[in-house]
Amino acid sequence: MTESSERDARHKARMARKKALIDEKIAQAQDEYGLLLVHTGNGKGKSSSAFGMVARALGHGMKVGVVQFIKGAASTGEENFFRRFPEEVSYHVMGEGFTWETQDRQRDIEKAQQAWVVARQLLNDPGIGLVVLDELNIALKLGYLELDAVLADIEARPLLQHVVVTGRGALPGLIEAADTVTEMNLVKHAFKAGVKAQQGVEF
Amino acid sequence: MTESSERDARHKARMARKKALIDEKIAQAQDEYGLLLVHTGNGKGKSSSAFGMVARALGHGMKVGVVQFIKGAASTGEENFFRRFPEEVSYHVMGEGFTWETQDRQRDIEKAQQAWVVARQLLNDPGIGLVVLDELNIALKLGYLELDAVLADIEARPLLQHVVVTGRGALPGLIEAADTVTEMNLVKHAFKAGVKAQQGVEF
């Protein structure tokens, strides 16, 4: 596809979702649809809160998909725990070897795009009630993924599917598209006082 | 006990914890100890983030205690889910019938104090690695529990036990005592746009 036909396809997908939302709304007259939530800011709890929502969703009998865009950024504790439920949680840790310092930007872009392929599969699966895109904001901020393409895929998801995007520095376009945005701000942190990272809390 | 001998006992417990912390620090030279975390602010994610930490702690093989001070304030989803693991999670929903409007303040105080008895048992159990005190801030703010007594019990807990306190309007004295404080701020909320609460996300 050329770039412009790709853009048209995305626009079409977005409009189709908008129309489907409206049709669905009229049918249900209940405003029930999947939300797009963004957790951003410099404080703690962006990912933890998404994983709390995973527990909540599982408690409601939903299936959940998780893609971690930065390997090692989130806790191995959550991964260990939620991998206990392979029937209920589809858990993917991507982004291995992200340099963060863009020593090999092209390679990082490829890794991010591989992760997005996995994310898109989850976003296409109506059997999944909640998709967590952990640290996606970082990949977007670094320009490893194009916001427009990412938003089109998110907006084309099944009507009742919820999506949570985490990470510092959420792009304005993502905030605009989101239903709910929470900024986690640091008031006080033990690290600052020289306490080392604690297993079970920090990682 | 008289009020002043009670205060002396609390002070003693607090000092004993401080001394134990220092002794432990010298022994380990690693600054490893249980943290007191506070999640406050008007945004979403205060409780979710605490429940994400529950998943993390379970992933590290810890046992966890949860006390919900306001019945119905937190999600039934998390409760459903974490009650699947009765060997690993000691889950207590208290505060049934909290009026919130203090129509029967004396009764509410009794309920809060019953909840604190349960919390104190968890805070005394060295087998528990993480204690979640969900919406405790509300009970403190309403004056249903005395901050000084609550802090003394928290500070007298086992050295390696982590505690998370959630709820709007954390009292300054609690913030001062905490190792880490995160304020969850609302940037944008679907509710404001007239979308009704969504199962699996909001409750």
Cα separations in angstroms, A86 against A53, A68, B96? 17, 16, 35
**Which candidate from B180, B189, B190 shows the least CB-CB separation from A44?**
B180
Cβ-based contacts of A46 with chain B (< 8 Å): 45
The stretch B85-89 carries a mean pLDDT of 97
Contact B75 A62 (CB under 8 A): no
CA distance B123 to B15: 17
CA distance A126 to B14: 53
Q: Is the pLDDT of residue B196 over 90?
A: no
In a domain, A180, yes or no: yes
**Using CB atoms and an 8 Å cut-off, which of residues 67-86 of chain B contact chain A?**
75-82
Chain A within 8 Å of B28 (Cβ-Cβ)? no
The ipTM, to two decimals, is 0.76
Contact A81 B56 (CB under 8 A): yes
Q: How far apart are the first and last CA of chain B?
A: 42
Contact A188 B196 (CB under 8 A): no
Amino acid at B148: D
Which has the higher per-residue pLDDT, B105 or B84? B84
Query: Which chain A residue lies closest to B52 (C-alpha atoms)?
Result: A52
Please report the pLDDT score of residue B157 as a whole number: 96
Q: Is the pLDDT of residue B45 over 70?
A: yes
Residues A141, A145, A149, A151: is their CA dihedral positive or negative? Answer: negative
Amino acid at A150: V
**Which candidate from B31, B59, B78 shows the least CB-CB separation from A81?**
B59
In a domain, B20, yes or no: no
Cβ-based contacts of B56 with chain A (< 8 Å): 48, 51, 75, 77-78, 81, 200-201, 203
Which has the higher per-residue pLDDT, A96 or B29? A96
| Structure tokens belonging to residue B153 | 């019990």
Mean per-residue pLDDT over chain A, rounded: 84
Query: Which chain A residue lies closest to B195 (C-alpha atoms)?
Result: A31
User: Residue B184 pairs with which residues in a beta bridge?
Assistant: A184
CB A79 within 8 A of CB A93: yes
The stretch B23-43 carries a mean pLDDT of 73
Distance from CA of B54 to the nearest CA of A (A): 8
Comparing C-alpha atoms, which of A83, A136, A150, A199 is closest to residue B160? A199
CB B56 within 8 A of CB B129: no
Cβ-based contacts of B129 with chain A (< 8 Å): 200
Cβ-based contacts of B57 with chain A (< 8 Å): 77, 200-201
Spatial neighbors of B28 by CB under 8 A, at least 6 apart, are none
- The 10s digit of each residue's pLDDT in A2-58 is 666 777 777 677 667 766 665 555 555 445 789 999 999 988 889 999 999 999 999
Amino acid at B138: I
**Which candidate from B130, B182, B200 shows the least CB-CB separation from A57?**
B200
**Three-class DSSP labels, chain A:** CCHHHHHHHHHHHHHHHHHHHHHHHHHHCCCCCCCEEEEECCCCCHHHHHHHHHHHHHHCCCCEEEEECCCCCCCHHHHHHHCCCCCCEEEEECCCCCCCCCCCHHHHHHHHHHHHHHHHHHHCCCCCCEEEEECHHHHHHCCCCCHHHHHHHHHCCCCCCEEEEECCCCCHHHHHHCCEEEEEEEEECHHHHCCCCCCCCCC
In a domain, B176, yes or no: yes
In a domain, A1, yes or no: no
In a domain, A203, yes or no: no
B196 DSSP 8-state letter: P
Please report the pLDDT score of residue B108 as a whole number: 85
- Domain that includes residue A76, residue range: 33-184
Q: What is the CATH number of the domain that holds A80?
A: 3.40.50.300
In a domain, A193, yes or no: no
In a domain, B151, yes or no: yes
| Structure tokens belonging to residue A81 | 């725990």
Mean per-residue pLDDT over chain B, rounded: 84
- The 10s digit of each residue's pLDDT in A167-201 is 999 999 999 999 999 999 888 765 444 445 555 55
B89 DSSP 8-state letter: E
Query: Which chain B residue lies closest to A58 (C-alpha atoms)?
Result: B81
What's the order of all strands across the beta sheet hosting A36-40?
A89-93, A64-68, A130-134, A162-166, A36-40, A180-188, B180-188, B36-40, B162-166, B130-134, B64-68, B89-93
Q: Is the pLDDT of residue B47 over 70?
A: yes
CB B191 within 8 A of CB A182: no
Neighbours of B92 (CB within 10 A): 16
CB A178 within 8 A of CB A145: no
Look-up: residue for tokens 């004396």?
B106
Least confident of A96-105, A150-159, B116-125, B174-183: A96-105
B86 DSSP 8-state letter: T
**Using CB atoms and an 8 Å cut-off, which of residues 87-126 of chain B contact chain A?**
none
Least confident of A135-139, B17-21, B31-35, B37-41: B17-21
Distance from CA of B56 to the nearest CA of A (A): 4
Query: Which chain B residue lies closest to A60 (C-alpha atoms)?
Result: B77
**Using CB atoms and an 8 Å cut-off, which of residues 151-190 of chain B contact chain A?**
162, 175, 178-190
Query: Which chain B residue lies closest to A194 (C-alpha atoms)?
Result: B31
- How many domains does the structure of chain A reveal? 1
Please report the pLDDT score of residue B194 as a whole number: 46
The stretch B44-58 carries a mean pLDDT of 93
Cβ-based contacts of A177 with chain B (< 8 Å): none
Using DSSP, state whether B31 is helix, strand or coil.
Answer: coil
In a domain, A19, yes or no: no
- The 10s digit of each residue's pLDDT in A43-97 is 888 999 999 999 999 999 999 999 999 876 666 899 999 999 999 999 999 876 5
- The 10s digit of each residue's pLDDT in B118-175 is 999 999 999 999 999 999 999 999 899 999 999 999 999 999 999 999 999 999 999 9
